[in-house]
Amino acid sequence: QKEVEQNSGPLSVPEGAIASLNCTYSDRGSQSFFWYRQYSGKSPELIMFIYSNGDKEDGRFTAQLNKASQYVSLLIRDSQPSDSATYLCAVITTGGFKTIFGAGTRLFVKA
């Protein structure tokens, strides 16, 4: 079992819709969770981080964390074609020394 799993996609949504990106992790002791966005040919950029169970909102982005289910998600409201990218989920393992990245989900927002 991979330590951080994401559906590779592509996930295709129409412009204006909500895009839902999901991530599961295997280390039950993980405490910190991050979402990065990577455009093709570019390096990743940090979008959000979440540490506590529940929802965290930042503009059109909402991160959701459920530690009991070992599940973290990212919702993008009012999706725009410029949101088309690969979204990477990252988890800090128990002990806090290592960040594990998922393989990423490709999102395509259709105009």
Partner 1 sequence: GAVVSQHPSWVICKSGTSVKIECRSLDFQATTMFWYRQFPKQSLMLMATSNEGSKATYEQGVEKDKFLINHASLTLSTLTVTSAHPEDSSFYICSASEVGRGVGEQYFGPGTRLTVT
Minimum CB–partner distance for residue 101 and partner 1 (Å): 5
Both tokens of residue 106?
Answer: 């490709």
Q: Identify residues 51-90 at the interface with partner 1 (CB under 8 A).
A: 88, 90
Minimum CB–partner distance for residue 3 and partner 1 (Å): 12
Rg, C-alpha atoms of the chain: 13
Q: Do the Cβ atoms of 72 and 65 come closer than 8 Å?
A: yes
For residue 76, which of 96, 103, 105, 101 has the smallest C-alpha distance?
A: 105
One-letter amino acid for residue 90 of the chain: A
Q: Which is nearer to partner 1, 36 or 65 (CB)?
A: 36
Residue of the chain from 17, 49, 56, 61 that contacts partner 1 (CB under 8 A): 49
Question: What residues form DSSP beta bridges with 86?
Answer: 38, 106
Q: Which is nearer to partner 1, 83 or 87 (CB)?
A: 87
Residue of the chain from 33, 63, 76, 83 that contacts partner 1 (CB under 8 A): 33
Q: Identify residues 87-106 at the interface with partner 1 (CB under 8 A).
A: 88, 90-92, 96-99, 101-104
Within 10 angstroms of residue 96's Cβ, the number of other Cβ atoms is: 11
